[in-house]
């Protein structure tokens, strides 16, 4: 068994396909976005054990929201849209052991729910529209003027966390379904703060499926035998 453990394949690379959701000032719910958009990305995962994996990922999506979805906010008529690029490093914890295959010959399919959390950065380029108020109330007019003149960074710290389900049907393939929320340290993810709710930082979410491919590696200490090479036996 030590021989096989050293040859254990732990690195996976894969892709993500799903959606992104805006949960900022122009979206009333903290759990669901009124304007979900398509998202995609790439990931690399290193399996430390049957229970723990480290994952680095890049995700790209779009965030958008508008007041017109809500009757009590329609008079304000603000809207915003922004591309978002996210880089994160996460730890994944399998609630049940997701068996790491030692060799393809002894592999058995396995599955497990999992939780994840980590740190990262999000890059946005918001284009808020604050000029089309149907009813101009002084507090919103003043807030919109502050936001239009505000200087803020396009890079935002973020804390991703969430849950999903992993299934490994084959020695070299892992599939997941997952949903995650992102807390940020900025209220200008969407380019809007004082014109809406400056007391609360923006949030967003990603959800979707991933497909990851595991690199195979020849077990340590085993070498392919050359059939053309013959040993000479001396009497």
88 and 158 Cβ atoms separated by less than 8 Å: yes
Residue 107 has a pLDDT of 78
Q: CA-CA-CA-CA torsion for 144, 150, 154, 158, nearest 10 degrees?
A: -70
Asked whether the predicted pLDDT for residue 166 surpasses 80, the reply is yes
Q: What CATH number should be reported for the domain whose range is 2-214? A: 2.40.160.20
Which is higher by pLDDT, 106 or 62? 62
pLDDT digits (tens, 9 = 90+) for 67-104: 999 999 999 999 999 999 999 999 999 999 988 766 66
Q: What pLDDT, on the 0 to 100 scale, is given for residue 104?
A: 67
Q: What pLDDT is attached to residue 234?
A: 44
pLDDT confidence of 109, banded at 50, 70, 90?
Answer: confident
What is the C-alpha to C-alpha distance for residues 64 and 210, in angstroms, rounded to an integer?
A: 24
Mean confidence (pLDDT) of the chain: 89
234 vs 17, more confident: 17
Rounded average pLDDT over 136-154: 95
In this prediction, residue 4 carries a pLDDT of: 38
In tens, the pLDDT along 174-188 reads 999 999 999 999 999
Q: Tell me the domain boundaries of the chain.
A: 2-214
Q: State how far the Cα of 79 lies from the Cα of 167, in Å rounded to an integer.
A: 40
Phi/psi at 71 (5° precision): -55, -35
DSSP state of 104: G
């Amino acid at each position: 068994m030590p021989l096989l453990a050293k040859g254990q394949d732990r690195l996976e690379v894969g892709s993500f396909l799903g959606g992104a959701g805006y949960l900022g000032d122009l979206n009333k719910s903290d759990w669901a976005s009124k304007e979900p958009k398509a998202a995609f990305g790439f990931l690399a995962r290193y399996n430390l054990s049957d229970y723990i994996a480290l994952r680095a990922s890049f995700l790209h999506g779009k965030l958008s929201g508008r007041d017109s979805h809500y009757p009590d906010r329609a008079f304000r008529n603000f809207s915003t849209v922004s591309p978002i690029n996210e880089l994160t490093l996460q730890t994944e914890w399998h609630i049940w052991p997701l068996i790491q295959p030692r060799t393809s010959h002894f592999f058995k399919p396995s599955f497990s729910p999992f939780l994840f959390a980590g740190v990262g950065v999000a890059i946005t380029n918001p284009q808020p529209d604050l000029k089309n108020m149907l009813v101009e109330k002084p507090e919103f007019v003043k807030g919109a003027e502050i936001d239009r003149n505000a200087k803020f960074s396009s890079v935002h710290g973020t804390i991703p966390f969430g849950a999903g389900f992993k299934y490994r049907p084959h020695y070299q393939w892992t599939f997941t379904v997952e949903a995650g929320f992102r807390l940020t340290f900025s209220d200008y993810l969407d380019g809007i703060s004082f014109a809406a709710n400056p007391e609360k930082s923006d949030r967003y979410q990603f959800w979707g499926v991933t497909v990851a491919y595991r690199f195979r590696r020849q077990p340590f200490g085993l070498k392919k035998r050359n059939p053309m090479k013959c040993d000479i036996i001396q009497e």
